[in-house]
Amino acid sequence: MENQNPNILKEVLEREITSGEQGKYIDVTFLMPKNIERVTVKIKVEALENQENVIDLGVRDPYRVRGWSGGARREFFISEERATPGYLSGELWEGKWSVLLGAYKVGENGCRVRVEIELYEKHYRWLCGDLHLHSNHSDGSYSIEENIAYANEKGLDFIALTDHNTASQNLERPKNTKLTLIPGVELTTNLGHLNFLGVDDAVKDFRVNSDEELERKVAEARSHNATIVLNHPYCSFTGWRWDWNFDYDLVEVWNGPWREDNKKALDWWHEELVNGKKLISIGGSDTHKIEKYRKHGMPTTWVYSDSNSVSDILSNIHKGRVVITYQKNAPFITIKCGDKMMGDVCNHSNEDTNLMFSSLKEKDIIKVYSDKGLVLEEENEGETIKEYQIKNNNKKFLRAEVWRYIEPFKEPVLVSLSNPIFYSS
């Protein structure tokens, strides 16, 4: 699994402050380029003679002051999802920024302030998480903090808060965690469920009694830029029984432990692909409480994202750069055709496609499908990594699976599922 390291742009600026500037605010400007996911700023105050100086610290973006810590700090950071206390997380707008220096107390001979700026460029890497979780804000037994703790224990990078028909969990999500918390709600009707991801308050009223009302709820959520997920469509308890002919972005093919209704969803999704629909599949544990076979990150959804912000994670899920595994430590699938990968459209239909399967175990069953059906099926003989070159041969798409014998199941179960790479004709 390849992960790029971030490129860090460094800049050092110096500003001498005279005693006559005491009491003033001083701007030390720098340019914020595009595609930055984190900025850190440190200052060092050097007295020109052995005199006491107190220099306050803050920052301004092109539109407003983004933070102020006075003399309490000598450094801070800001990213889209989190920031040093006293500073506002959010988009790192391209343009002119200013480190704000408050000359609170300056000695007679002045001082020199050294400003060290580090800009972390966005870079692609695989992030893993759980896109369907519940808490005590609806019918779950875990608090938000307990969900975060379990996700951290599993080594996840993000989780989605998808309580039933309420937004209170989104308004209470903490910012002081390295885990990215994707706001969401599970629109829970008597005839099927949808997840609305990426916004705090997707709909004002959850109640749905007709196909027309369902369409209006989906349109309302989409007007707030929510991602629309068709949840567990073949679940025996809450399967989809509304009209399927509406606008959704993703389908939750894999919900919780592998079982027959997930297999039905997988088969239906494959037929949608065969029929030419570019539909992206995801997974989610749908964890509510302590259960033997339903836990945080089971399954795990992986996304190849250029940052750990909510917007970038969801944007890259929309692009189909997604692999689902039954847990974090499971076989992983990568698919490439030239510089394209799963989710992309390869314009060179005569090229070979490279598939790599890693973290395999003996007797794992590798399967590769296209719109023409099963392309390859092989039982692994003990290698941990397997690679295949498959000719495109004017296929519409190519996708892959890994199946494994796991106790207590009496037959192989799915342990890894890729989204397709698509081909132009």
Instruction: Identify the pLDDT of residue 1.
Output: 64
Q: Does 206 map to a domain?
A: yes
Q: Residue 91's pLDDT band (boundaries 50, 70, 90)?
A: very high
Which tens digit of pLDDT belongs to each residue from 324-351?
Answer: 999 999 999 999 999 999 999 998 666 7
**Three-state DSSP class for residue 37:** strand
Where does a domain end: 121, 140, 163?
121
Whether 122 shows a pLDDT value over 80: the answer reads yes
Average pLDDT value for residue range 319-325: 98
Distance CA 227, CA 314 (A): 8
Helix then strand then coil, in percent of the chain rounded to 5, is 15, 45, 45
Q: Please check whether residues 26 and 134 belong to one and the same domain.
A: no
Predicted local distance difference test score (pLDDT) of residue 2 = 63
Give the pLDDT confidence score for residue 3 in this predicted structure: 67
Give the tokens for residue 348.
Answer: 């060179």
Q: What is the mean pLDDT of residues 196-224?
A: 97
Quick one: what percent of the chain has pLDDT higher than 90? 90
Domain count of the fold of the chain: 2
- What pLDDT shows up at residue 144? 97
pLDDT in tens, 126-163: 999 999 999 999 999 999 999 999 999 999 999 999 99
User: How far apart, in Å, are the Cα atoms of 175 and each of 64, 89, 144, 348?
Assistant: 21, 9, 12, 44
pLDDT, average across residues 66-85: 97
Q: What is the mean pLDDT of residues 354-380?
A: 97
Inside any domain, residue 1: no
Question: Is the bond into 408 cis (omega within 30 degrees of 0)?
Answer: yes
Write down the pLDDT at residue 351: 79
pLDDT on residue 296 = 97
Is 368 in the same domain as 252? yes
Same domain, 133 and 218: yes
Q: Which amino acid is at 338?
A: G
Note whether residue 298 is domain-resident. Answer: yes
Q: What CATH number does the domain containing 360 carry?
A: 3.20.20.140
Alpha-carbon distance of 303 to 21, in angstroms, equals 51
Strands 322-325 and 413-418: antiparallel
215 and 229 share one domain: yes
**Assigned domain for 210 exists:** yes
Give Cβ neighbours of residue 273 (< 8 Å, ≥ 6 apart): 279, 371, 396, 397, 399, 420
Is the same domain home to 263 and 291? Answer: yes
What are residue 33's phi and psi, to 5 degrees?
-75, 180
Among the candidates 86, 121, 156, a domain finishes at 121
Q: Could you tell me the pTM of the whole model? A: 0.95
Residue 111: domain span: 8-121
Does the residue 49 lie in any domain?
Answer: yes
pLDDT band at 34 (very low <50, low <70, confident <90, very high): very high
Claim to verify: residue 247 and residue 370 sit in the same structural domain: yes
Same domain for 184 and 222, yes or no, is yes
The Cα–Cα gap between 296 and 179 comes to 13
Structure tokens at 223: 């007007």
Question: Where does the pLDDT of residue 6 fall: very low under 50, low under 70, confident under 90, or very high at 90 and above?
Answer: confident
Q: Is the same domain home to 71 and 185?
A: no
